Amino acid sequence: MTQRIAIVTGANGGLGESMCKALAEQGRKVVGTFAPGHAAAAASWQEEMKLQGFDITMKAVDVSDFNDCKRLLEEVESSEGSVDILVNNAGITRDAPLKKMQPEQWQAVIGTNLNSMFNMSQPIFEAMCNRGWGRIVNISSLNGEKGQFGQANYSAAKAGIYGFTKAIAQEGAKKGVTVNSVSPGYIDTPMVRQVPENVLNSIVGGIPIGRLGQPEEIARAVSFLTADDAGFITGTNISVNGGQYMA
């Protein structure tokens, strides 16, 4: 069987790295993306992955720009082959209480975290349907499920992912294309570890399992949903949050 091609946006972050590794171990040819202007960091990350035995191609794309996403996808299909798996993982935060939030903070988060879902999925969705196979996994968040003080922009974007996922899951269902989402809780990444110790302790205290999640636990959900034999799972969300929020 031809090796399936997978794209992971925001690949060189804590969660993205684990997803890339999990998909590679699943036998996929993985293409990761990074934000323009971070080529040096992406190249260094790619070399580190090679040292660990993972051959992951890295490409720059502005996921908030439809035309740039279309350009990237055409480039990947030309050099690597048809895209079979898409993991929409790229995301940013621009936190502020609503009364202090500026329009540019709102637009930046909506553009990167929500508009990117359309920008990356639309150009390849029809081709997946025509081939009769595809896997799309959209990374949402615990805070898209429950909301979070100071994150009206982030929570709105992540909540919007659920509607997008369910709608296009219905469009792809009879075509062999599944579309699902994964909602991580608080995960042990460098970003979370920068939180002040007292705040971090308070967060962990609110997690019934009593610890932060590991990036590999999110990647496991992604690899499960993208498996060849996961064709009967579509339009659903997997919450991986240690019991912190039970919908």
pLDDT at site 227: 98
Write down all domains in the chain, each with its CATH number in brackets: 5-186+216-239 (3.40.50.720)
Q: How much is the average pLDDT of 154-168? A: 98
pLDDT for 193 beyond 90: no
Confidence class of residue 63 from pLDDT cuts 50, 70 and 90?
A: very high
Cα 50 from Cα 194, distance rounded (Å) = 27
pLDDT for 195 beyond 90: no
pLDDT at site 1: 66
Q: What percent of the chain has pLDDT over 70?
A: 100
The average confidence (pLDDT) of the chain is 96
Cα 42 from Cα 34, distance rounded (Å) = 7
Q: List pLDDT tens digits, range 82-92.
A: 999 999 999 99
pLDDT for 27 beyond 80: yes
Confidence class of residue 74 from pLDDT cuts 50, 70 and 90?
A: very high
pLDDT for 176 beyond 70: yes
Q: Which of 85, 232, 228, 224 is nearest to 240 (CA)?
A: 224
Q: List pLDDT tens digits, range 100-130.
A: 999 999 999 999 999 999 999 999 999 999 9
Q: How much is the average pLDDT of 14-27? A: 97
Residue 245 annotated to the active site? no
The bridge status of strand 83-88 relative to strand 134-139 is parallel
pLDDT at site 126: 98
pLDDT for 60 beyond 80: yes
pLDDT for 247 beyond 90: no
Q: How much is the average pLDDT of 139-143? A: 97
Catalytic residue of the set 154, 162, 186, 245: 154
